[in-house]
């Protein structure tokens, strides 16, 4: 191997993109990991997500190891045995041939068996977790919630469960409220197409398939708000089918349950009462339930969020809008199609109608 200084310089220049690229790549990596990401699956905040993460971590490092070995060998081979002459347009005159190795059966059997063993190790850790995450909790052990996926929002029903203070079922939408530190057992159904329920910091995802009933577990360690979203492509506004899980400590859980079990008071005067009337006149009640006032919806109406306790939530319409911002809700009533593909269809409302409706909706706490 005769490497003159000249060829060596060539060599270094050619390799230039690599270190440059590596530097950028590692910067990117650092930047990526440092940032604060509310749906980061590598920062679990509940027991199930942690189980998953604990499974993932060692496997990630196995992959890193294989990566380093393979890329190391490749880079080593390139650096060591790269032909440094100029062979761009004449390969045949590249001079002496290297030794003609045809293979090495022992070695090859070795690198067949070794990965197999590594993977067998991975498998041993994987299989039990599959069953663990599909286990059904005993009755009363976990809070049960019926989840409904619909284009493009989430509905939740809490059947009556005295263990959790719920004596009179609760219906709500988009924001799932749970007690922190307790298991939650979801029963997932879809009214139209396939959706997928996912709150990354609390657990993986489970598809919500029409015609089938699936179950899924959640648990949050601490009180807090956890971001999530529909993860199966479900049509035009799939991107806008987000959700929140709100975990409460014991006291605020009790308070929430109590609030949710109260029927809202029918407004008798003022703008709100006007809105109450309009709610029917403008057809809202054809789709939306407000318990105690509008219990029946039209048969052919699309599934729509229960509005009984609308203002107990912070976000609406697939959790893409802020309910605390009056403008957002007004804009929604003006044009529900601002969320592309929304199934809410209303006629043109006047600004006065909107003010009145807003006043009424605001009473639905």
Tell me which residues in 182-201 interact with ligand CUA (CB under 6 A): 195
In terms of Cα–Cα distance, which of 283, 259, 271, 256 is closest to 348?
283
Least distance CB 239 / ligand HEA (angstroms): 9
Question: How is residue 149 annotated by DSSP?
Answer: E
Q: Return the number of the residue (40 or 207) whose C-beta is nearest ligand CUA.
A: 207
Q: Annotate each residue in 128-157 with x if it binds ligand HEC (CB under 6 A) or - if it does not, as one string.
A: ------------------------xx----
Question: How is residue 6 annotated by DSSP?
Answer: H
Backbone angles phi, psi at 195, to 5 degrees: -120, 180
Candidates 241, 310, 329, 357; binder of ligand CUA (CB under 6 A) is 241
Please tell me whether residue 232 binds ligand CUA under the rule CB under 6 A: yes
Q: Quick one: angle between helices 5-15 and 17-34, nearest 10?
A: 30
Q: Return the number of the residue (76 or 233) whose C-beta is nearest ligand HEC.
A: 233
Least distance CB 154 / ligand CUA (angstroms): 8
The interface region with ligand CUA, picked from 63-71, 104-112, 172-180, 227-235 by CB under 6 A, is 227-235
Least distance CB 169 / another protein (angstroms): 25
* Burial letters 178-203, b for 16+ CB under 10 A, else e: bbbbbbbbbebbbebbbbbbbbbbbb
The alpha carbon of residue 274 and the mean position of all alpha carbons in its chain are separated, in whole angstroms, by 40
The interface region with ligand HEC, picked from 16-24, 71-79, 217-225, 297-305 by CB under 6 A, is 297-305
Q: State how beta strands 143-150 and 153-158 pair.
A: antiparallel
Least distance CB 357 / ligand HEC (angstroms): 5
Under 8 Å CB-to-CB from 349, ≥6 apart: which residues? 282, 333, 334, 357
Please tell me whether residue 177 binds ligand HEC under the rule CB under 6 A: no
Please tell me whether residue 194 binds ligand HEA under the rule CB under 6 A: no
Tokens of 159: 């059947």
**Cα(123)–Cα(133) distance, rounded to whole angstroms?**
16
**Interface with ligand HEC in residues 189-208 (CB under 6 A):** none
Cβ 278 vs Cβ 362: under 8 Å: no
Least distance CB 48 / ligand CUA (angstroms): 21
Least distance CB 338 / ligand HEC (angstroms): 11
**Interface with ligand CUA in residues 126-185 (CB under 6 A):** 149, 152
Q: Return the number of the residue (118 or 297) whose C-beta is nearest ligand HEA.
A: 118
What does 316 interact with, of ligand CUA, ligand HEA, ligand HEC, none (CB < 5 to 8 A by kind)?
ligand HEC
DSSP string for residues in 192-226: SS-EEEE-TTT--EEEE-TT--EEEEE--SSSEEE
Which residue's structure tokens are 């029903």?
Answer: 157
Cross-strand partners of 143:
184
The interface region with ligand HEA, picked from 113-121, 223-231, 248-256, 332-340 by CB under 6 A, is 113-121
Under 8 Å CB-to-CB from 336, ≥6 apart: which residues? 317, 342, 344, 345, 346
Which residues of the shown chain bind ligand HEA in the complex (CB under 6 A)? 66, 70, 115, 118-119
List residues binding ligand CUA (CB under 6 A): 149, 152, 195, 230, 232-234, 238, 241
Q: By CB under 6 A, name the binding residues for ligand HEC.
A: 152-153, 173-174, 282-284, 286-288, 301-302, 304-305, 307, 310, 313, 316-318, 333, 339, 342-346, 357, 361
């Amino acid at each position: 191997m005769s490497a003159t200084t000249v060829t060596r310089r060539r060599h270094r220049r050619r390799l230039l993109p690599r270190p440059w690229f590596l530097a950028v790549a590692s910067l990117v990596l650092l930047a990526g990991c440092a940032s604060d990401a509310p749906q980061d699956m590598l920062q679990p905040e509940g027991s199930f997500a942690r189980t998953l993460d604990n499974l993932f971590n060692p496997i990630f490092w196995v992959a890193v190891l294989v990566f380093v070995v393979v890329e190391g060998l490749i880079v080593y081979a390139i650096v060591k045995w790269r032909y440094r002459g100029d062979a761009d347009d004449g390969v045949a005159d590249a001079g002496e041939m290297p030794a003609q190795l045809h293979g090495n059966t022992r070695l090859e059997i070795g690198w067949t068996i070794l990965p197999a063993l590594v993977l067998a190790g991975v498998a041993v850790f994987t299989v039990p977790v599959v069953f663990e995450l599909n286990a059904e909790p005993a009755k009363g052990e976990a809070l049960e919630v019926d989840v409904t996926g619909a284009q493009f929002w989430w509905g939740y029903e809490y059947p009556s469960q005295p263990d959790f203070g719920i004596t009179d079922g609760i219906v709500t939408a988009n924001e799932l409220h749970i007690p922190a530190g307790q298991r939650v057992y979801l029963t997932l159904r879809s009214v139209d197409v396939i959706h997928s329920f996912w709150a990354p910091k609390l657990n993986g995802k489970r598809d919500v398939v029409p015609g089938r009933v699936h179950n899924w577990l959640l648990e949050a360690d601490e009180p807090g708000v956890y971001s999530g979203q529909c993860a199966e492509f479900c049509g035009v506004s799939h991107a806008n089918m987000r959700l929140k899980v709100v975990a409460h400590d014991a006291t605020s859980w009790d308070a929430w349950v109590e609030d949710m079990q109260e029927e809202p008071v029918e407004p008798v005067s003022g703008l709100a009462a006007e809105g109450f009337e309009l709610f029917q006149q403008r057809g809202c009640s054809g789709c939306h339930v407000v318990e105690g006032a509008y219990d029946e919806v039209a048969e052919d109406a699309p599934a729509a969020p229960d509005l009984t306790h609308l203002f107990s939530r912070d976000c609406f319409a697939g959790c893409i809008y802020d309910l605390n911002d009056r403008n957002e809700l007004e804009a929604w009533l003006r044009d529900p199609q601002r969320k592309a593909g929304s199934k809410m269809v209303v006629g043109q409302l006047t600004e006065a109608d909107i003010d009145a409706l807003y006043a009424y909706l605001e009473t639905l706490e």
